[in-house]
Amino acid sequence: MDAYAFAGGTAVVTGAASGIGEALAVQLAERGSSLALVDRDADRLAAVADRIRAAHPRLEVETYVVDLADEAATDALGATLAGAHPGTTLLVNNAGVALGGRFDQVTLEEFDWVLAINFRAVVRLTAALLPVLKANPGSHLVNVSSVFGIFAPPGQAAYAASKFAVRGFSESLRHELADDGVGVTVVHPGGIRTRIAESARLGSGVDPDEVAAGREQMGKLLRIPPEKAAAQIVAAIEARRPRLLIGLSARLPDLLVRLRPGTYWRLIARGVAARGGAAR
């Protein structure tokens, strides 16, 4: 498959108001992609779009404020994007949320909220835009999983389930779309410095005393700048890489899971305790 061509196409990016999504939007525009940016934070999204428009006045930059937890709204968004942007050649399913707490500390409603945004929205938007991608030869699909789509730590049952699902969905699609000339990359970020820790929800059964300590611990390993992560994703898109692990905090667990599939957690937990943190 030839290298992906950024210039002239439209890139749809979800979770574009901050973090990796914002950095991706900026870097894709620098490479000549028009943009359709999606987020639930209207103010932040507008600021990102305005900054890109000022820097690249010839590019089309549209914004869509949608809560991807709302399945009807997500379906409507997919239909709108497919109709309004027939030149879409890149879809980046980046939006994600986190929920802390053991399985017995979260409600089924809280668990389902994570699945709705992290997995079902990925499926729904991919389904809506896949005919457009297939109609534009050389298109590409990026689904952002997580290091927690490689290993599953305690206290992250909902998040890990959603990110493992994204991984499996992406790998199957990669094989299905190969003959259509549509590339697929699944991304496993490690400790990226985004807002996911500060915006994470905690299960309703989590002891309040654990909240501050848990967030402080989570933040300690979020060290990789989102701009650096975005640059690696852009390079992976161009090269049509099937899989991208970002950071040592993703590459080392990937190796440990391969070597110790049933007992990896004891080793990872020991390393996390020694460094005083957790991963994205």
Give the percent of the chain with pLDDT over 90. 77
Contact 188, 250 (CB under 8 A): yes
Q: Which domain holds residue 196?
A: 10-275
**pTM for the predicted model, two decimal places:** 0.91
Q: What is the mean pLDDT of the chain?
A: 91
Whether 2 is covered by a domain: the verdict is: no
Residue 142 lies in a domain: yes
Alpha-carbon 95 to chain mean position: 5
CATH number at residue 87: 3.40.50.720
Q: Residues 219-238: what's their mean pLDDT?
A: 86
Closest CA to 278 of 150, 175, 171, 153: 153
Asked if 264 is an active-site residue, the reply is no
Q: What is residue 182's predicted lDDT score, i.e. its pLDDT? A: 98
1: in domain:
no
11 contact partners, CB below 8 Å, separation of at least 6: 25, 28, 33, 34, 35, 36, 88, 89, 90, 91, 92
Query: In whole angstroms, what is the distance from residue 29 CA to residue 25 CA?
Result: 6
Residue 214: Cβ within 10 Å count: 19
Burial of 160 (0-12, 13-18, 19+ CB in 10 A): buried
SS3 17: coil
pLDDT one-digit tens code per residue, 52-73: 999 999 999 999 999 999 999 9
- For 6-34, the pLDDT digits (tens) are 999 999 999 999 999 999 999 999 999 99
Across the range 84-111, mean pLDDT stands at 96
Q: Is 89 inside any structural domain? A: yes
The residue among 60, 17, 9 whose CA lies nearest residue 237 is 9
Confidence band (pLDDT; 50, 70, 90) for 202? confident
Catalytic residue among 4, 64, 159, 264: 159
Position 280 in a domain:
no
With respect to residue 188, please indicate whether it lies within any of the assigned structural domains: yes
State the CB neighbour count (10 A cutoff) for residue 47. 14
Q: Residue 138: what are its φ and ψ, rounded to 5°?
A: 85, 15
Non-local (6+) Cβ contacts of 192 within 8 A are 19, 20, 222, 224, 225, 226, 229, 246, 247, 280
Q: Number of structural domains, the chain?
A: 1
Asked whether residue 5 is assigned to any structural domain, the reply reads no
From residue 126, give the alpha-carbon distance in Å to each of 50, 119, 140, 234, 241: 27, 11, 11, 19, 19
| Domain annotation covers residue 265 | yes
280 band by pLDDT with thresholds 50, 70 and 90: very low
As a whole number of angstroms, the distance between CA 212 and CA 100 comes to: 12
